[in-house]
Amino acid sequence: MAGGTRVPLAQRAAAPGTVPVPGAEYGLAWRELHADDADAVLDLVARASAVDRPMAAPSPNQVTDALDPARARVISSLGGYAAGGEDGSLEAVGVVYLPAGETDVVRAFLTGTVAPGRRGRGIGTALLRWQVGRARQLLAHDGRLLPGRIATYVDEHLTDRRRLVTDAGFQPRRVYQEMRRPVDGPLPQARLPAGMRVVDWTPDLDEDVRHAHNEAFQDHWGSQPMSHESWRRVNRELEPRWSKVALARGPDESEEVAGYAMTSRHEHLWSQLGHTEGYTELLGVRRPYRGRGLARMLLVEVIAALAEDGIESTGLDVDTINPSGAHLFYERLGYERQGARTLYTIEI
């Protein structure tokens, strides 16, 4: 195996025996977060977002789901409360989560923030140190003969956060460009390939679309087959009318999924964006159906559906190192760059 993966993760992760929480010198009381902390987390996110203007922020549904004790994925969390405990405001939060169903690389993702008024005191450094330590422990517990990765995303404009993670040993691995276009005005020209039709997503199509996605993305860097849990999380705020599925008819008149555009309604971000928007989380075409303009057709159908519902903008993100030059494809459809975020990793 490449990359030293003949050695189990239990050894390569170099996990510490214990991971101490940040000390009392930061003026916060630290404890694991639970389901009833969701409102406090959302309040902290709102206070931080007002200053940071992040490209994305978790929705109430996402926070509630992350703190759900019945979750299938592995999560470790830590919150720092002011005023000595339960009655104080949440001033810092750090989360480590391992997606369910990893088969090629075992990944530990880190997210977190510190309240603006508490920054500059070393809290972020201490919290990140705890997260990395816990990530190493969780990766070691997995123990398989697979590569391991500790990862976090940082918006390009958050220079302090970029410095924080690079000082902690993270290296930039990938840049994902955020792109948007208004939905008013003429639609780009697109032609539906012969033998296909485009329909709105429906629940009975969902499992076939998930399998089509796993097939379409098996050759993409960093992509892993999506489990039921991961698929549900990504499409938690799916808007069926804005999500399109291309069905191809076979010789026996049966149909199969050829491509898809899964589009979400993230209303919690609209006030920050200053406009309404449909966000295409996943766009893919299975290999046998590529080269026929199907991806273009799917996005045109998404844009038309958004316009019909009075939505102002459509958005998506794209890997700038994509060998197919996908960002140029989106530019030809009228999408424009609106920022970027970098994936930083520690490879294990």
Given a cut of 70, is residue 27 above it in pLDDT?
yes
Residue 14 pLDDT exceeds 70? yes
**pLDDT at residue 2, rounded to an integer:** 42
Name the token pair of 138: 């969780």
Sheet hosting strand 196-200, strand order edge to edge: 29-31, 74-81, 90-98, 106-114, 148-155, 336-347, 171-182, 313-319, 277-285, 255-264, 244-249, 196-200
Average pLDDT value over all residues in the chain:
92
Pick the residue with more confidence: 205 or 72? 205
Token representation of residue 265: 């309604």
The average pLDDT across 284-294 equals 95
The tens digit of pLDDT for each residue in 200-237 reads: 999 999 999 999 999 999 878 777 888 888 898 889 99
Does 324 have pLDDT greater than 80? no
Res 289: pLDDT = 96
* pLDDT range class, residue 322, cuts 50, 70, 90: low
What are the structural domains of the chain? Answer: 9-169 (3.40.630.30), 178-340 (3.40.630.30)
